[in-house]
Amino acid sequence: MRYSTISSAFMALGLYASTASAVFDAKSNSNVAVYWGQGRDQIGLSEVCEDPSIDIVNVGFVNYFPKKVGDYPGTNFANACSGTNYNNTDGTESKLLNSCPGIGPGIKKCQANGKKVLLSIGGGYPHDYYLPSVEVAKYFAEFLWGAFGPQTAKWVRDGKPRPFGDAVFDGFDLDIEASEEPNPPFADYKWANYAAFVTHLKKELFPKALGQYYISGAPQCVIPDARLADAIQNSLFDFIFVQFYNTPQCSVRAGLNEIQGKPPNVNGAKFTFNDWVTWLNTYSLNKEVKIYIGLVGDTHGVEKDKESYLTPAEANTLIGYYFRRNRAIFGGVMLWEATVSKRNQLCNKNYG
């Protein structure tokens, strides 16, 4: 069995004991989460699930949000789907993909191998999504739960979409990156109503099913995050996957330079991991939330800020340093993304 370079870092710290069929531990501080669904010429989800080093797979993205009750959301999973869509209830074509044959079996394979699979909403493109009201936020939560949560006879009998058949996600991830709009739909559109969305899932929908379901968020490294701060303060998140890349002023490169006593990578750069720990301990509604250091699996995983990629030796230094100082809240490492990590072979090991 080959472990990844990131898992080797946890092994060096005496933390890593995963196998291909290990039981997932949400309280662990050596979990590895990885995004899949947007890689260029990406590998299949089932191949990702064969990797014993990975504990959480975030499948992305649901990238089009309903603007009113009754609208179907839209999805994009790159080359995993054929491009055909469901029709809305009024007969018009929606943006919800209906032919992604490998994803359902991939979800089941991941779960058979002890991994949790979350459906990620948002993403980097397009940036024009938002939730216009609490009513729509709750409808969106109910639609996602019906379409991607435990399958119910009523949902099927009513002819509602099940894009991946009877495969069931273990929860949802919020990667909210809505852009600055020149003509914003309303003042608080970047962050409004996500707390209501999460709370409806956590308090009303998840308890209806057997098993444990999770909510994660993937804020940018700038603190507080303009899009997710309100939701983290007012609803229950289990994992926070901070994206310490693509933003030079607070990236992992800034963190490594600080540890090594080197000059900042850009003027005023400051790694914000400790600030995130303080902020979460102070403001997070869930006082047992876990924070993950977000890394890129290769320079090919970032469009800008190539310096945010750390070599395995550099990543090991950073992970060890911040783990030892933040054991209680440290959850592990998040990687963007599965395909670039898989193809970044170092000493016959995947990066992640």
DSSP string, 26-58: TT-SSEEEEEES--TTPPPHHHHHT-TT--EEE
Q: What is the pLDDT of residue 27?
A: 97
Per-residue pLDDT reduced to its tens digit, 128-154: 899 999 999 999 999 999 999 999 999
Establish whether 288 is a catalytic residue. Answer: no
Residue 293's SS3 state is strand
Report the number of secondary-structure helices (H) and strands (E) in the chain: 11, 11
Lowest mean pLDDT among 214-223, 281-290, 338-347: 338-347
What residues are paired with 74 via a beta bridge?
64
Q: What is the pLDDT of residue 301?
A: 82
Percent of the chain's residues with pLDDT above 90: 84
- The one catalytic residue among 142, 177, 204, 288: 177
Query: With bands split at pLDDT 50, 70 and 90, how would you rate the model's confidence at 302?
Result: confident
Query: With bands split at pLDDT 50, 70 and 90, how would you rate the model's confidence at 167?
Result: very high
What residues have CB less than 8 Å from 186, skipping those under 6 apart?
132, 192
Per-residue pLDDT reduced to its tens digit, 35-70: 999 998 999 999 999 999 999 999 999 999 999 999
Per-chain mean pLDDT for the chain: 93
Per the model's pLDDT, the better-predicted residue between 301 and 96 turns out to be 96
Phi, psi of 301 (to 5 degrees): -85, 0
How many CA atoms are closer than 13 Å to the CA of 32, on its beta-carbon side? 34
Q: What is the pLDDT of residue 17?
A: 45
Segments of the chain assigned E as strands: 31-36, 56-64, 74-75, 85-87, 93-97, 116-122, 171-175, 214-217, 239-243, 290-296, 330-336
Q: What is the pLDDT of residue 338?
A: 95
Query: With bands split at pLDDT 50, 70 and 90, how would you rate the model's confidence at 2?
Result: low
| Structural domains for the chain | 5-343 (3.20.20.80)
- At 73, list the tokens: 């959301």
